[in-house]
Amino acid sequence: MDNIIQKLQQGDKRALARCISLVENETKGYEELLLQLSFNKHIPITGITGPPGAGKSTLISAIAKHFVEQNKTLAIIAVDPSSPFNHGALMGDRLRMSEHFLHPNVFIRSMATRRSLGGLAPKIFEVADIFRAANVDHIIIETVGVGQSEVEIAALADTTILALVPEAGDEIQTIKSGVMEIADIYVLNKSDRDGADIFYKNLQLLSHSNIRDGWEIPVVKTVATKNEGIDELMNAIEKHVHTSHNGNKKIHLLAEKAMVLIRSLRTRDIDFTQIENELKEKTKDENFNLYRYVKKYIM
Q: Are residues 5 and 144 part of one domain?
A: no
CATH number of the structural domain spanning residue 103: 3.40.50.300
Q: Are residues 199 and 63 part of one domain?
A: yes
Q: Are residues 151 and 277 part of one domain?
A: no
If you average pLDDT over every residue of the chain, what do you get? 82
Judge whether residue 118 has pLDDT over 50. no
Better-scored residue on pLDDT, 211 or 283: 283
Give mean pLDDT, residues 46-54: 88
Q: Are residues 34 and 166 part of one domain?
A: no
Q: How far apart are CA 103 and CA 61, in angstroms?
A: 12
Instruction: Decide the pairing of beta strands 185-188 and 219-221.
Output: parallel
Q: Are residues 283 and 211 part of one domain?
A: no
156-209 per-position pLDDT tens digit: 888 999 999 998 655 555 555 567 777 899 999 999 999 899 999 989 988 888
* Domain span including residue 101: 40-266
The structural domain count of the chain equals: 3
Q: Are residues 156 and 90 part of one domain?
A: yes
Q: How confident is the model at residue 149 (pLDDT cuts 50, 70, 90)?
A: very low
Nearest-10 Cα torsion for 286, 292, 294, 299: -160
Q: How far apart are CA 87 and CA 81, in angstroms?
A: 9
Q: Are residues 275 and 169 part of one domain?
A: no
Longest dimension (CA), the chain: 65
Strand order across the beta sheet in which 138-142 lies = 106-112, 74-80, 138-142, 45-49, 159-164, 185-188, 219-221
Q: How far apart are CA 44 and CA 260, in angstroms?
A: 20
CB atoms within 10 A of CB 94: 18
Give mean pLDDT, residues 250-260: 75
- Between helix 2-9 and helix 124-133 the angle, nearest 10°, is 70
Give mean pLDDT, residues 232-252: 81
Q: Are residues 20 and 81 part of one domain?
A: no
Q: Are residues 136 and 91 part of one domain?
A: yes
Q: Are residues 76 and 21 part of one domain?
A: no
Q: Are residues 57 and 33 part of one domain?
A: no
**218 close to 235: Cβ distance less than 8 angstroms:** no
Q: Are residues 163 and 67 part of one domain?
A: yes
The strand ranges marked E within 165-288 are: 185-188, 219-221
Judge whether residue 283 has pLDDT over 70. yes
Judge whether residue 65 has pLDDT over 90. yes
Q: Is 5 left (phi over 0), alpha (psi -120 to 50) or beta?
A: alpha
Q: How confident is the model at residue 95 (pLDDT cuts 50, 70, 90)?
A: low
Q: How far apart are CA 72 and CA 67, in angstroms?
A: 5
